[in-house]
Amino acid sequence: MRLVYFLILGGAALFAQSTVIPFLLPYWLVSGMDLPLIVVVHVALTRGKVHGMMAGAALGYLQDAMSGGVIGINGLAKIVGGFSGGYLREKFFVSSIAHRAGSVAGAVLFSVLSKVVVLSLFAQPRPGLLSPLLLWTFMGNALLALASHSLLVRLEGRAGIRREEELSLGD
């Protein structure tokens, strides 16, 4: 059931990012928003490094294929995001809102930075390190990921998707 739930969550993020969000919101707001990354961070924080990396690989590769860009760039960035989310979860134990915010922001930051590094490494066009786009990508996604993660944790607890030990870890 949990696998089906995470598959639906990932699919919904990709669908929303490619269809619903551009339809509803102006481009300047959408330009940095990365819903698949938010799902990857959520999976990593609730299920750990391995699941985070697997979710990152799947969603990142699909995102690359759908966007017509170089396949693997988002894949790699989200693998790093998934790993760092899981790693920070273990380190900080995600026991308070501050620790949780730090873990979410760290995972998003590592993912965004790894994407910039890979783009530079392969001489692909990329935003500048201090560009508004990059800052917006980091800050916007970190805030959205924190809000979404907190909301999903509650919903999953109520729906019985998460186990007791995970609930005590996550809350």
Partner 1 sequence: MPGPGGTLRDFLARRREGLLLVLLVALSLLIISRQVRDPGGMTYFRKAVIAVTTPFQSGFRAVTGGISRVWNGYVFLFGVRTENRRLREEVGRLRSEVQELREELFRAGRLEEFAAYRSETGFEGIAGRVIGESPDPWTRTVVVNLGSSDGVQRGMPVVTPAGLVGRVVEVAGRSCVVRLIVDRSSRVPVLVSRSRARAVLEGENSGTCQLKYLDRTEDVAEGDTVITSGLAGIFPRGVEVGTITQVIKRNHGLYQYAKLLPKAPLGRLEDVLILELQGGQEPEL
Dihedral (Cα; 106, 97, 36, 85), 10-degree rounding:
40
Pair 80, 22: CB distance under 8 Å = no
Nearer to partner 1, 19 or 95 (CB): 19
Minimum gap (Å) between residue 43 Cβ and partner 1 = 14
Nearer to partner 1, 96 or 120 (CB): 120
Nearest approach, Cβ of residue 97 and partner 1 (Å):
26
Which C-beta is closer to partner 1: that of 62 or that of 113? 62
Give me the residues that bind partner 1 (CB under 8 A), please. 14-15, 17-20, 22-23, 27, 30-36, 49-50, 53, 57, 61-76, 79-80, 83, 86, 115, 118, 122-127, 133, 137
Least distance to partner 1, CB of residue 55, Å: 12
Q: What amino acid occupies position 71?
A: I
For the chain, give the number of residues: 171
Distance CA 91, CA 39 (A): 20
Q: Please name the residues in contact with 26: beta carbons below 8 A apart, sequence gap of 6 or more.
A: none
